[in-house]
Structure 1
Amino acid sequence: MNFDNVDVYDYGHLGLVAGFIKQVGLIDYIDRVIPKTKPCHVSHGQAVAAMLLNVLGFHSQALYLVPEYFSDKPIDLLIAPGIYSEHLNDDVLGRTLDAVFDYGVSSLYSELAIKTLNTLKIINN
């Protein structure tokens, strides 16, 4: 087997978290219940996923530093292809936080918790 064309990334714990986010369908669910109203590189679900990944590795930092955090991460594998660190700017993330607030933070959290428990077959609802 030839490994000359293999790229190696240090995901740390982010690969596990991103895999879990994809397994439970967090991005798709958020995009379905809180759709974007304007064309954008990053959906609300993708922005929430980015913020979750960010808070687990670069917590207590301002939103404007999120692109810096993702500058050396394989975003296409962690979140989605076609997203670059500059797309995860404070304007996009702030608009997502506003949209989540408008939807209802507690409602979204409860819905995602139930969806996760169902997906993992912990409960059947």
Structure 2
Amino acid sequence: LVPTQMEIDAGTIILGMVLDTLTGRNPLYRLNKYFENQDTQLLLGKKIDPLKFSDYTVGRVLDRIHDYGAMKVFSQISLQALKQFNIDRSHLSFDTTSVSVHGD
């Protein structure tokens, strides 16, 4: 959804950010330090030099996502997940900030 001409794709950068957040949360400029001690082959599905997770690369990816539209990216990824995992969509609500249920 967010093409780049960098040596690492946007999805891998975002996955790296998610993994970092789930394990303690480093500042973005230290994301490459986080991956120095990680098995990127195991975590990301491919061997990646930790230096590829530089703050400049992360910033460029975030800029591209912003330009494309973060909600648009989220919506498209969510729809693909629903299709991939064959999730029943008859009872889904997209606006999770104001969901209320009444009755049975």
Give the structure-1-normalised TM-score.
0.65
Q: Which residue identity does 1:56 align to in structure 2?
A: L
Spell out the pairing of 1:3-82 with structure 2 (5 A cutoff).
33-36=1-4, 38=5, 40-59=6-25, 61-82=26-47
RMSD: 1.5
Q: For residues 36-83 of structure 1, what are the alpha-carbon distances to aligned partners after superposition, in whole Å with 9 as ceiling and x for unaligned?
A: 1x3x22111111111111111122x31111111111111122214241
Report % sequence identity.
26
Partner of residue 9, structure 1: none
Partner of residue 105, structure 1: 70
The runs of at least 4 aligned residues of structure 1 exceeding 6 Å deviation read none
Unmatched tracts of structure 1, length 5 or more: 1-32
Counterpart-to-counterpart distance in 2, 1:79 and 1:98: 22
Contact 1:76 1:82 in 2 (8 A): yes
Unmatched tracts of structure 2, length 5 or more: 90-104
Give the structure-2-normalised TM-score.
0.77
With 70-79 and 86-95 compared, the bigger mean Cα shift is at 70-79
Look at both structures and tell me which one has the larger radius of gyration over its CA atoms.
2
